Structure 1
Amino acid sequence: MAAAVSESSFDVWLSAKLSKLNIDQEVFGSYITGILETDDSSHEDKTEDLVSFFSEITEDGVEDTCREIISKWNETQKEKEVEAEKLKAEEKAANDQAVANLMEKHATSIVKKELSNEERQRKAALLKQYGDVSEEEESDDNGDGNDVGAFPNQDSSLFKNTNKTDVTSKERAKRDKAKQDHEKKKERDKLQREKDKQKALDRKEKEKKRTQKQERRR
């Protein structure tokens, strides 16, 4: 598209130039452009061909006219090259941005997937750990426990910390209860021994009295 604009600009200029020289642009314009577009011709060859052409149809300022035409042609070619480079740079920037966006999207997708997998693993571990504790609480407290499902919107790390605290408190309570039970058992055993001792003394006293009574009867 940039090349078409440059060529159109040169064609407009050439048409105006030939009109000033009283030369039919429709007849000779394409011929002049054909000479200039010849890639395998050097600057000197193009100049020579143009001078030869104009010498046949006019005698006024032929060399100056040819130099001006070639200069204008070279100028438009440079403009075409600049436009082409600009377009190429814009296309490259657009492609680079598209690639960068694609890579960022891909990287984001991978990170989300990894986080999702990690979150699922953490939740699974939490559910398993919390499930084990719930079963233990149900066994010890006749079903008095909490289900993790009752807190679906809580952060898993909070569950984990809360669960750890609950487990620690439960273990401490178990130890305290076991200690209390042990002390109660010791107290009961002590009382029982004292009762047994008193019973033994009572039996001994009764036996003594019975023996004394029998002796008196003799």
Structure 2
Amino acid sequence: MAEAPAAWDFDSWLRDTLVALSTDDEVFSPYIKGILEGDENTEEKLEALQGILAEITVDVDERLAKIMEEQAACVVTARTHSQEHHNLKSAILAQYAEVSDGECTESDEEGAAAGAVAPRNTNAEEVVRAEREKREKDKEESQRKREKDKEDRAKQKAKDEERKEKEKKRTQKGERRR
């Protein structure tokens, strides 16, 4: 009975090891167990197992080499660009270069001197303005809600007072009848 768990552990270890080596564990596992359980002496078993393991590792090494060759073939070659493409790219980058408000660059001064006006980037200003408007809107809504809640509390308090007053009158009326 004590051998069953040990055999099961060996079987699962052998299966996991063969799977990790990317081999067919259903073929090699019974073959290796057959060698280990055979009648041969230890030296013959060791030699047979070394032969199998050498074959498995050579197969794995061959697969790895093949995969590496395929990956090397997939390497993208560097693109070459013409001088015209490079100049166009530089012009576009220069056009959209960031300049903070109130700051002038040499190209801006040259453009202003030549009479050319570059379009001003107003994205940041629009975002700030939109955020400010949203905060103000939220603030107004919050103020309206507070006022409405205050009015509702006042109405509820008046309603409670009226209800208490009616109850008081009804109680007094009942006492007078007695």
TM-score between the two structures when normalised by the length of structure 1? 0.32
| Higher helix content, 1 or 2 | 1
TM-score between the two structures when normalised by the length of structure 2? 0.38
**Higher RCO structure, 1 or 2 (CA under 8 Å, sep 6+):** 1
